[in-house]
Structure 1
């Protein structure tokens, strides 16, 4: 197996231009330690990450449904594993998580169909957008679209550079597989 040209950067090699970010979100996960190979991208990423991950109109549960489906559609084992862990920490059952990889019913199904539309058609068709707007609101639709794009970008980085699943997540899923 070839060695990645951009493995996660360790503390001793952390770029000085983003030294202030190492103790925050950027130093906690291999995805951002990989992104640290491009310090200005990592610094620019931070405000969008804050909105997508923390301050979005979807709320934490809907956001995880979007991210899980995006990770599934990408085939990104890193995103899937990390967001199975996060979904569990939010109280989402394994049954519900597994359903996201298939076709769930109800609101989760509506969200999954919207994610799939973005993958398949690069837009959400009008009838589905209207149904979503009635259910979750337009700002949440914008955040759904942005979340998919955000995680497609992260997935591209992760899969291009074969970023390993963080040890704690790998251990968690080994002990309690989905």
Structure 2
């Protein structure tokens, strides 16, 4: 069992006390990251861009995040982002398709998921993939896709290494309505 446990409020580092009431205190993944307060502080600006200010838009971002979570075998990321995708109104069949082969996805989702696959398998997009992603989301969107894959790859490394289970609220939600 890993000793990378989410820090409690009582164990929260004083140097990042201001982060506890925000995003960092809401999810166990960030409570684990709080073992390295300087990293969590630096992470904050990138998180703001990747999660909130992305040019991908929320649904496309969720496709990228879900596919990244699946490819890393991160049940933590998958479960949390199934919840977010549902809140955005994404259909269950669409969410489920993100786990499977590209041929079973919509063309847009296949373009995004195929780019995730390429980045994780070969650490690059081919010129054809770059053109396809840019046609869909623009040049900045292509960079945001790459940043999102990298960002959630690091989170998957942390979640998987810590053996994180779903946060209680997400676990309860998925017990009522299981993830596809």
Fold-level match, TM-score > 0.5? yes
Cα distance, 1:119 vs. partner? 0.9
What's 2:118 paired with?
A: 117
C-alpha contact (below 8 Å) 1:85/1:169 kept by paired residues: yes
- CA-to-aligned-CA distance 1:116-148 (integer Å, 9 cap, x gap): 010111101001111221121110000000000
What's 2:29 paired with?
A: 31
Q: What 5-or-longer segments of structure 2 have no aligned partner? A: none
Cα distance, 1:70 vs. partner? 0.2
Q: What 5-or-longer segments of structure 1 have no aligned partner? A: none
What's 1:15 paired with?
A: 13
Cα distance, 1:168 vs. partner? 0.4
Calculate the TM-score normalised by the size of structure 2.
0.96
Secondary structure of the equivalent of 2:10?
helix
C-alpha contact (below 8 Å) 1:34/1:163 kept by paired residues: no
C-alpha contact (below 8 Å) 1:117/1:124 kept by paired residues: yes
Q: Note if 1:99 corresponds to 2:69.
A: no
C-alpha contact (below 8 Å) 1:78/1:163 kept by paired residues: yes
Secondary structure of the equivalent of 1:66?
helix
C-alpha contact (below 8 Å) 1:15/1:39 kept by paired residues: yes
CA distance, structure 2, for counterparts of residue 131 and residue 8 of structure 1: 40
Alignment of 1:38-53 (within 5 A): 38-53=36-51
Q: After alignment, is 60-69 or 104-113 more displaced? A: 104-113
Secondary structure of the equivalent of 1:75?
coil
- Over aligned residues, Cα RMSD in angstroms? 0.7
Runs of 4+ in 1 over 2 A off after TM superposition: none
CA distance, structure 2, for counterparts of residue 155 and residue 6 of structure 1: 14
C-alpha contact (below 8 Å) 1:10/1:33 kept by paired residues: yes
Alignment of 1:1-178 (within 5 A): 2=1, 4-102=2-100, 103=102, 104-178=105-179
Cα distance, 1:105 vs. partner? 2.5
CA distance, structure 1, for counterparts of residue 132 and residue 159 of structure 2: 33
CA distance, structure 2, for counterparts of residue 135 and residue 161 of structure 1: 36
